[in-house]
A and B are shown apart, each in its own frame.
Chain A
Amino acid sequence: MRREPPRTIADYTPLAFPAIMLIIFFVVPFSTMIAVSFFRRQQGGFYTPDFVIDNYGRFLSAFFGGVLGFSLMLAIMVAVICVAIAFPFTYLLTKTSRRVQIVWLVCLLSVLSLSEVIIGFAWSTLFSRTAGITNLLVAAGLMSEPQALLPGFGAVLTGMVYQALPYTILVLYPALVRLDPTLLEAARTLGASPLRGFINIIVPALRNTIVATLIMVFVFALGSYLLPQILGRPRHWTLSVLITDQAIYQSNMPFAAAMAVFLVLISLALVGLTLLVGGRREATA
């Protein structure tokens, strides 16, 4: 049975249910959100259909600029740290036996699937005064008394790296598994040490993969909404937190929707950039 174009209406029936579900429950909500971003807000949490751009005008405020700048800076830091740790780690992982790899993959998936709530709770416990790591330092005689390490920027950054690291490793894994092993062998034969081979051969060969991964982790980190709340102070809030806050607690749906539309545009632009980089990778390979 070869693949063939659908000819009769009946041939399209399998598509009906998925198409209806995706259109009603994704395309329509998405469009509703875009529409609401142009609506006028009423006092008391309601909004009326209208076409105003005031909601977008609020982007020009210093407060919004600060939150946006902080979100982007935080996501960039998370992406850079994660790739810097994950790239050499994943490379070493692909050199181990299949059995070891599978055990690691199961562990990484388990951590990746963890709720942000649980990650936030776990790190807030680890950074707390009563149950935290400072107790270990006290026991080792390095500190005089235990202290709390949160809320603070360091705690937010650590939590977000923890959340994004398994994701980074799993994104890099397929590219590194498929890497041609003869590349490094050639370098070794010509007298390069494993470390030199890694830096001079592997890293440049996968330059585009690294860039694409950086962007993907960046978008992933932009989506973090609970960790900045649990581990940070209000000034560590990101755009995602602000959207939730405006929608639920300030009942300002039009402004929340406008910010969400803005976040979509940033993400789409970056995903597009990833595809572009990926396309070039295939073109040169």
Chain B
Amino acid sequence: MTDTFLRRLGFAVVALFLAGPLIVVAGVSFNEKQSLTFPPEGFSMAWYGQIFTDPGWRSALIASVLLAALSAALAVLIALPLSWFLWRRIAPWANVFRLLGVAPFILPPVITALGLLTFWATIGFYGQPWTAVISHAIFFVTLPLVTLSLGFSSIDRSLVEAAATMGADDRLVLRTVVLPLILPYLVSGYAFAFVLSLNEYIVAYMTVGFTMETLPIKIFNALRYGYTPTMASVSVFFVAIAAVVFALIARFGDLPRLLGAMASDES
């Protein structure tokens, strides 16, 4: 009896700790006047409207979504041939590239950010919006790389051999057997990279911080000039996007397996 009670209490405390700040932010976002009070005074959804109507917030939102969509796509384009090659061929030295793909994710992010800043500045493209796309793609290539490697390793090789015996070449096998099997892993890799890119601050700030405002950069800049409930509504909006994306991955994929593999690959 007391065991169950203690266990429930433990879960409740952790849940409260994780949800607490978000509950307060959600509450603040409904304030009627432009003040950050909790519990909120009055009720208004106006601050959510602001994300889309205020030109500053809207352009930051568009910039963030574009950046996340493009950089996640580029990350998948880098990860897919690499993980396919590592699965198809015996070439131990090629694992160096897997290591290079995982490295930016394990090292403190400020290092990748500073490296890219010096690089873009040296070759003279510092501040161009497209440099952020490449920077984020490299920074987050780990995620599709790990999910795709897991996807390839879960393919039953006898399926592929059967196809080859029937006369299918690499290209045909890839299109008709391999791609359909790894599609869920490809989608979840894209989704992980997309959500993390949406929330990323330091790499975006160091590469395009002075020419383009993504939502995290916009929030941080706004923090200096005083708090507005719009910041709270944007935060709630972001939590909601992340929760929906991960819930979809859980719905259509095997989340525990995906996470089990990811962590073991990192350590």
Contact = CB atoms under 8 A, between A and B. Distances in A.
Interface of A: 1-6, 11, 14-15, 17-19, 21-23, 25-30, 32-33, 36, 85, 88-89, 92, 98, 101-102, 105-111, 113-126, 128, 130-133, 135, 162, 165-166, 170-171, 173-175, 177-178, 194, 212, 216, 219, 222-223, 225-226, 230, 240, 243-244, 247-248, 253, 256-257, 260, 263-264, 267-268, 271, 274-275, 278
A22 B173 contact: no
B239 interface: yes
Contacts of A108: 18
Nearest to B221: A117
14 contacts: A23-B100, A26-B103, A28-B119, A102-B256, A113-B199, A126-B24, A132-B24, A166-B18, A170-B263, A173-B256, A216-B267, A223-B107, A223-B109, A264-B111
B186 interface: no
Contacts of B101: 18, 22
Given A92-B11, A122-B21, A260 B114 contact: yes
B78 A22 contact: yes
Interface string B136-171: 011001000000000000000100110110000010
B164 to A, nearest CB: 4
B97 A19 contact: yes
Given A2-B161, A122-B21, A131-B24, A11 B89 contact: yes
Contacts of B138: 21-22, 25-26
Interface of B: 3, 7, 10-11, 14-15, 17-18, 20-22, 24-25, 27-28, 35-38, 77-79, 81-82, 84-85, 87-91, 94, 97, 100-101, 103-104, 106-119, 122, 134-135, 137-138, 141, 157, 160-161, 163-164, 170, 173, 195-196, 199-202, 206, 209, 215-216, 219-220, 223, 227, 231-232, 235, 238-239, 242-243, 246-247, 250, 255-256, 259-264, 266-267
B90 A105 contact: no
